[in-house]
Amino acid sequence: MIKKMKKILDEIEKLNLGKIERDVLLKKYTTYKVGGVAKAIIYPKNVNCLIALIKLLKSNNICYKILGNGSNVLFSSRDFDGIIIKLDLFDDIEFLSGNKIRVGAGYSLIKLCMMACKKSLAGLEFAAGIPGSVGGAVYMNAGAYKSDMGYIVQSVKVLTPELKIITLENKEMNFHYRSSFLQTHPGYICLEVTLKLNKGKKEAIEDVIKERKKRRIDSQPLEYPSAGSVFRNPPGMFAGAMIEELGLKGMKKGGAMVSDKHANFIINYKNASSEDIKYLIDYVHDEVLKKYDVDMKIEQEFVNWE
C-alpha cells in the first residue's frame, strides 16, 4: 500500500494537478488540534484538476476526504490511509449587481463577512465568528443568532459523484437547521456559491459585528482549541443549559474538558487526544439522553473512526 500510494502521489505531482504535502499531521488542520497522520493533502489548482484527481483516486481505490478549515470535524488518532483534498485555491470572489456575491468554496467565511461589510452588504453578520470555509458553511448550513447560510444562499455550483458540474438553487439545497442537501448526498462537492445580501449601512453592520464579537469573547472559551458548539439545540431547548444542569461543566478526560465557560463546548485544554474528546462527547450525549430523554444531534463529523 505504501508503494502504491507513493506511486500515485508521484503521478499526481507529474500531472501537476496541485500542491502536495506528504505525511501530514492532521492536528495542524483542525480546530480541535487533534488527529493522526494523513498520507497527503492535495490542493487542486482548479475544477479540472480536481476532477482529474478524483478520477485517478477512484480508479486506484484510494479513499479521500474533502476538508475545509477543519472547524467541524473530529479525526481519530489513527493514521488516515488516504488523501485529504483541500479547496483553498477555490477562492475567487466577485461582487455582482443586485447585492450578490459569487465566491469560491475555499474562501474564509469570516473574511467574506468582513468583505461584505466593507461593501455595505448586510446579512452575513452572523458569520463573523464562524472559523470555517464557505464550502464547509454551506455543507453544514452554518449559522448563529437565529440566521444561517440558508437565508442568504441563492445557488450553489457543485461537482456531482459522476463528476458533472451542476448548479443547485436554494430550494434544491434543502437547507434546514444545521443541515443541507450536501450532508444527505455524499459525493457532492461544493465548488462555488452565489449569495444574495441586502444593502445596508457600513457603520451599522460594523456595530453588529463588534457587539457579537464581544458576546462571543464573554461567553465562549475562545482561548482553547475547540470545534464550537458540540450539540445542536433541540427544538425549544438549549443543549448547554441541559449539560450544565447535569453538573457536567468542567468534566475532564485526559486533556479534554467540558468547558466551564460554556457547557456546549468541549475544549482541548492540555494536549488532548481525539479519543479524549470523543469520550466526553459520547458521555455527555448519553447522560442527557438518560436524564431528559433527548437524543441530542452531534454537530461534529467523526472521520476515520471505523
What 115-118 contacts at long range (C-beta under 8 Å, 24+ apart), as own/partner pairs, is 116/197, 116/205, 117/202, 117/205, 117/206, 117/209, 118/202
What distance separates the 2 farthest-apart alpha carbons in the chain? 58
- Let me know: does 103 contact 93? Beta carbons within 8 Å: yes
Residues facing 182 on adjacent strands: none
Residues facing 153 on adjacent strands: 195
The pairing of beta strand 301-303 with beta strand 266-268 = unpaired
Q: Tell me which residue has cell 477512484.
A: 58
Q: List residues with catalytic annotation.
A: 178, 229, 299
User: CA 86: distance to chain centroid?
Assistant: 12
Alpha-helix residue ranges (DSSP H) falling in the chain: 2-15, 47-59, 109-118, 134-140, 181-184, 202-219, 239-245, 274-292
User: How many CB atoms within 10 Å of residue 162?
Assistant: 7
Closest to 230 in 3D by CA, of 219, 220, 240? 240
Q: What share of residues in the chain are helix, strand, coil (percent, to 5)?
A: 35, 30, 35
- Let me know: does 112 contact 102? Beta carbons within 8 Å: no
Grid cell at residue 304: 476515520
